[in-house]
Amino acid sequence: MTIALESLIQQAVAAAEQAYAPYSQYHVGAALLAADGRVYTGCNVENASYPASICGERTALVKAVSEGQRQFSALVVATVNGGTPCGICRQMLFEFAPDLRVVVVDFGGHIHHDLPLRQLLAYGFTPQDLPR
């Protein structure tokens, strides 16, 4: 599938504008491309009980999965400085798409990283690792 990367980048940057990040001030936007071509966006949503917060990447993922999506081909993450997805997001994404293309950009759309999720999360834990 040809990926309309510029469109995904724009959607990720736009999603960051919705971030609720009064504590960290670190806004994150994500645009997740499902195998069927639909795009799910997400932003980080923080909470006064800090551990209850959720990242933009997982917001996009749970939106997609809750609407029946299970296969994904690309994820664009936008932050002010091109920060990479955290470990929890890497693991949750790995469950569905270990070969996911992950593109990390800053708010100017400049690409900082463009690599497969397998490289971001070496030896990620999978459902096959669970004993039957």
CB–CB of 118/99 below 8 Å?
yes
Minimum distance between the CB of residue 90 and Zn ion, rounded to whole angstroms?
8
Question: Is 33 a residue that touches Zn ion (CB under 5 A)?
Answer: no
- Report phi then psi at 31, rounded to 5: -135, 115
Length of the chain: 132
Minimum distance between the CB of residue 132 and Zn ion, rounded to whole angstroms?
30
Question: Is 55 a residue that touches Zn ion (CB under 5 A)?
Answer: yes
CB–CB of 80/107 below 8 Å?
yes
**Taking CB under 5 A as the criterion, which residues in 89-108 touch Zn ion?**
89
95 is catalytic: no
Q: Which residues does the annotation mark as catalytic?
A: 57
